[in-house]
């Protein structure tokens, strides 16, 4: 039996001790400095593994951005897009809401225009006659023009209104010391002379600016809506005008636009501009005054300090359309009649002016239809507008 105290046996015993501790011969570092270096390397390796695990977990939650061919990050592109949308959230929300509200309520606008320009026994008679003679398509004649114009006009109008509103509010604060926006946003407050005047002035500014854009589109829409009626000989009092009137029948938006230019020149696209300017300036001022004031009142009565109560927005949107149309309807009727008459004349021929007569029954034909349509349009529009604006504002930057 070998002696365990011999050097050879001692060496074998040490090797067995190290193996029993889980180490192999290759893992033994006879030099203490090498042992320290090995320990440091092991710690570094463990830290690296932990960092890799954390990165893998982060990638699971937020996938890594892809790189485009030009080397740009897709996340960077998304972030830039979101910042752009958030910056122009008023315009984006107004455009999308306009498309929805215009399409859903256009048949009522068509009936309103027909009742303004021609004699019908009432709303039902107009609907029945239109459907019998022109079918469902008759209610959507000219829809392309307002789809483009109303979307553009409302987008520009709301953009101008928002900017001029804050400009006028700052002027009132600096000149008279009254903070309009602070007053409106404070819970439990009511409209006063300063708020009504400021919002009305901003609305009038927006309305007067958009007339230059809206007039040609609205004239095109009107001519398309009443083209079939104009072509009917019994509706044309002067036979010599019938040929011109009949030329507008069954034409699309662009052809109708070209036909107006053909008979009345480029200036003919702004037929009835003065009446249109008066209508839009007064109407838009009343529109925004009513919306802002009624929303403030309804929010105060409802006890909601956020000033974005959905019910308040819905009711205020419908109310502003009713009030503004009730005020300007005779102006709009005079504009529609004058534009309809002008379509039967060639360039250079004088068209008889149409007087604005308030409180005369014939100037209010179709008012009920118009108010109902406007109530529906603006209730849908403002509900959609406030919702989209809030959602866009809440978008997270990537």
Question: Which carries the bigger pLDDT value, residue 21 or residue 133?
Answer: 133
Q: Is the dihedral of CA 51, 54, 56, 62 positive or negative?
A: negative
In a domain, 74, yes or no: no
pLDDT at 217 (0 to 100): 84
Spatial CA neighbour of 289 closest among 151, 168, 112? 168
pLDDT at 15 over 80: no
Give tens-digit pLDDT for 102-144.
Answer: 877 888 888 888 887 788 888 889 999 988 888 888 888 877 7
Q: What is the pLDDT of residues 265-283, one digit of tens each?
A: 888 889 899 999 999 999 9
Looking at residue 244, its pLDDT comes to 75
Cα separations in angstroms, 257 against 49, 272, 321, 341, 349: 71, 16, 28, 16, 19
Is 136 among the domain residues? Answer: yes
pLDDT tens by residue, 26-57: 444 444 444 444 444 554 455 455 545 544 44
How far is C-alpha 6 from the geometric centre of its chain's CA atoms?
A: 96
Into how many domains does the chain fold? 1
d(CA 343, CA 248) in angstroms, rounded, equals: 9
Q: What is the pLDDT of residues 185-209, one digit of tens each?
A: 888 889 999 999 999 999 999 999 9
| Nearest Cα residue to 198 out of 171, 157, 169 | 169
- Higher-pLDDT residue of 362, 284: 284
pLDDT of residue 284: 94
The answer to whether position 15 is within a domain reads no
6 pLDDT exceeds 70?
A: no
Identify the CA nearest to 323 among candidates 294, 287, 356. Answer: 287
Whether 69 maps to a domain, the answer reads no
The pLDDT > 70 percentage for the chain reads 74
**Which pTM does this prediction carry?**
0.67
| Domain assignment of residue 238, given as a range | 87-393
Rounded-to-integer distance, Cα 3 and Cα 332, Å: 123
Q: Give pLDDT, residue 174.
A: 95
326-342 per-position pLDDT tens digit: 999 999 999 998 988 88
- The one-character DSSP state at 395 is P
Q: In b/e form, how buried is each residue of 73-102, taking b as 16+ CB within 10 angstroms? A: eeeeeeeeeeeeeeeebbbbbbbbbbebbb
> Cα–Cα distance between 219 and 231 in angstroms, integer?
17
Give me 220's structure tokens.
């095109």
Which CATH number belongs to the domain containing residue 350 in this structure?
1.50.40.10
Per-residue pLDDT of 344-371, as tens digits, reads 888 878 888 888 988 888 888 888 888 8
81 located within any domain: no
Three-point CA angle 306, 311, 315, nearest 5°: 115
Query: Does 379 map to a domain?
Result: yes
Alpha helices in the chain (DSSP H): 7-20, 32-61, 74-87, 89-117, 123-134, 144-176, 180-185, 193-225, 227-231, 242-246, 253-264, 273-302, 310-342, 367-393
pLDDT at 8 over 80: no
Count Cα atoms within 13 angstroms, Cβ side, for 81.
Answer: 6
Q: Is the confidence at residue 5, as pLDDT, over 50? A: no
Residue 200, pLDDT score: 96
Domain-embedded: residue 52: no
Query: Could you give the CA distance from residue 224 to residue 257 in angstroms, rounded to a whole number?
Result: 10
Share in percent of the chain as helix, strand, coil (round to 5): 75, 0, 25
Q: How far is CA 208 from CA 97, 124, 199, 202, in A?
A: 22, 35, 14, 10
Residues whose CB is less than 8 angstroms from the CB of residue 280 and which lie 6 or more positions away in sequence, other chains included: 207, 208, 210, 211, 214
């Amino acid at each position: 039996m070998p002696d365990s105290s011999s050097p050879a046996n001692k060496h074998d015993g040490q090797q067995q001790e190290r193996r029993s501790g889980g180490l192999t011969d290759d893992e033994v570092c006879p030099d203490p400095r090498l042992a320290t270096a090995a320990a440091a390397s092991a710690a570094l390796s463990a830290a690296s593994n932990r960092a890799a695990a954390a990165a893998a977990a982060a990638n699971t939650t937020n996938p890594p951005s892809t790189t485009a061919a030009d080397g740009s990050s897709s996340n960077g592109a998304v972030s830039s897009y979101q910042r752009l949308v958030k910056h122009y959230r008023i315009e984006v929300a107004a455009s999308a809401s306009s498309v929805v509200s215009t399409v859903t309520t256009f048949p009522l606008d068509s009936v309103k225009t027909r009742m303004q320009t021609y004699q019908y026994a009432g709303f039902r008679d107009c609907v029945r006659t239109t459907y019998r003679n022109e079918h469902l398509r008759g209610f959507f004649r000219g829809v392309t023009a307002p789809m483009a114009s109303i979307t553009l006009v409302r987008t520009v109008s709301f953009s101008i209104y928002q900017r001029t509103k804050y400009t006028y509010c700052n002027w009132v604060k600096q000149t008279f010391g009254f903070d309009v926006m602070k007053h409106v946003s404070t819970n439990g407050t009511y409209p006063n002379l300063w708020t009504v005047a400021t919002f009305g002035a901003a609305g009038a500014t927006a309305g007067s600016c958009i007339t230059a854009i809206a007039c040609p589109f609205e004239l095109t829409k009107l001519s398309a809506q009443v083209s079939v009626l104009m072509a009917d000989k019994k509706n044309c009092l002067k036979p010599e005008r019938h040929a011109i009137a009949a030329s507008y029948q069954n034409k699309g938006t662009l052809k109708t636009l070209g036909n107006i230019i053909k008979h009345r020149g480029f200036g003919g696209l702004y037929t009835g501009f003065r009446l249109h300017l008066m209508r839009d300036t007064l109407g838009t001022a009343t529109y925004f005054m009513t919306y802002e004031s009624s929303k403030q009142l309804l929010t105060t009565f409802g006890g909601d300090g956020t000033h974005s109560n959905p019910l308040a927005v819905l009711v205020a949107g419908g109310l502003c359309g009713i009030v503004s149309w009730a005020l300007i309807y005779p102006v709009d009727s005079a504009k529609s009649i004058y534009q309809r008459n002008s379509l039967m004349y060639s360039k250079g021929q004088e068209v008889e002016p149409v007087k604005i007569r308030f409180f005369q029954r014939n100037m209010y034909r179709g008012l009920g239809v118009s108010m109902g349509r406007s109530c529906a349009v603006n209730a849908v529009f403002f509900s959609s507008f406030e919702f989209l604006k809030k959602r866009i504002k809440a978008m997270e930057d990537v």
